[in-house]
Structure 1
Amino acid sequence: MHLRPVTEADLAMFQRYLTEPGLIGPDWRGFRDAQEPARRFARDGFLGEDGGRLIVDVDGQAAGNVGWRKGSYVPPAFYWEIGIVLLPEWRGKGFGWRAQAMLCGYLFEHTPVQRIQAGTHPENTAEQRALEKAGFQLEGVIRACEFRAGQWQDGLLYSRLRGDAPVNPQ
């Protein structure tokens, strides 16, 4: 397993995320513009200064992607917020925590960021375990932080700092 840049062949997977209810689980937010991934790919190949995406590649197959976006509590300092989407057939096999640990290593190596954070749903115990295996620590509950399934839902916030113990995703 490794992370690689998005290619044009991967755009169909991104279009599926936007048009197939349930494919990405509870994070699906309704139908979206299926041409947006092609526009983003044409603009910067999903590798912009404020965030990006890499493909989780397992033996030459796109299993999903990891992404990051810039956030800030106090400018000019910033943090990365990361996320992951694995296609259903790749879930529960240990690829998720490894991909997130690899992404953290990549971001700590290539950007001056001090903090990487990730959120998840309180009911997503598999992702909570994956984040902990990837070196993240639970910071707490963020109340009513997202509108999902017709109502406001709480989230859990995890973080990993540059000085935290390194994680070997092998």
Structure 2
Amino acid sequence: MTDLTVRLRPVVEHDIEMFRRFNTEPGLIGLDWAGYRDAAAPARRFAEDGYLGADSGRLMVHVEEEQAAAGFVSYLAGKYGGLAGFWEIGIALLPEWRGRGVGWRAQAMICDYLFAHTPAQRIQAGTHAENVAEQKSLVKAGFQLEGVVRACEFRAGRWRDGYLYSRLRDDPSPLANTGIVAT
């Protein structure tokens, strides 16, 4: 792992090509590949709200040293009942950026950002049972394993279990004393 400077930034028009790739290149998104998706959908969503919707959105994961977009983090609003709103986050990194410490930082940053700008008490993230690297990344980003979600995903011809992680507003940020700030 290297000491890269990671920041989050809004999506700009030239980022749409990366989203198209994730929709149309088998395997690029790893275990989350669920078949071909509409290649024009990213441009439509960008035109709608620049991926900065009130209930869902994306921010680009940008590596300063390379002046490159490494991937994106996403957020989606959910509700358990009453006023118990939460965010579900996700991340997709291009293969060349995986395993370099970019992902856990970006996940910690999106949590800090959402806690700073929304009243949510809870942020959750799911991952595949076999994705050990992502499980370690989530823990490093301040998440705790809550449990197994049985048969929650249909992938590669069968139903599969997933793991659910969460980070609460009062949980300490792993970025608190690093000088890294999510704006």
The TM-score range, normalised by the shorter chain, is over 0.9
Cα deviation for residue 75 of structure 1 reads 3.2
Where do 1:1-20 residues align within 5 Å? 1-20=6-25
Q: Which residue of 2 aligns with 1:97?
A: 104
SS at match of 1:12: helix
**Aligned residue among 83, 91, 102 for 2:90:** 83
Given the alignment of the two structures, is residue 159 of structure 1 paired with residue 166 of structure 2, yes or no?
Answer: yes
Cα deviation for residue 101 of structure 1 reads 0.2
Q: Which residue of 1 aligns with 2:145?
A: 138
TM-score (norm 1): 0.98
Matches of 1:28 and 1:42, distance apart in 2: 25
Matches of 2:131 and 2:35, distance apart in 1: 20
Matches of 1:31 and 1:24, distance apart in 2: 11
SS at match of 2:48: helix
Q: What letter matches 1:52 in structure 2?
A: G
Unaligned runs of 5+ in 1: none
SS at match of 1:99: helix
Runs ≥4 residues deviating over 6 A = none
Q: What letter matches 2:51 in structure 1?
A: F
Q: What letter matches 1:2 in structure 2?
A: R
SS at match of 1:85: strand
TM-score (norm 2): 0.91
SS at match of 1:64: strand
Cα deviation for residue 133 of structure 1 reads 0.4
- CA RMSD of superposed structures (Å): 0.9
More deviation, 73-82/60-69:
73-82
- 1:69-106 Cα offsets, whole Å, 9 max, x none, are 01111033210000000000000000000000000000
Matches of 1:14 and 1:76, distance apart in 2: 32
Given the alignment of the two structures, is residue 64 of structure 1 paired with residue 71 of structure 2, yes or no?
Answer: yes
Cα deviation for residue 167 of structure 1 reads 1.6
SS at match of 1:141: strand
Matches of 1:32 and 1:164, distance apart in 2: 36
Matches of 2:150 and 2:43, distance apart in 1: 34
Q: Which residue of 1 aligns with 2:47?
A: 42
Matches of 1:144 and 1:150, distance apart in 2: 12
SS at match of 1:47: coil
Aligned residue-pair number: 170
Aligned identity (percent) is: 66
Matches of 1:81 and 1:57, distance apart in 2: 21
Q: Which residue of 2 aligns with 1:124?
A: 131
- 1:131-154 Cα offsets, whole Å, 9 max, x none, are 000000000000000100110000
Matches of 2:51 and 2:139, distance apart in 1: 27
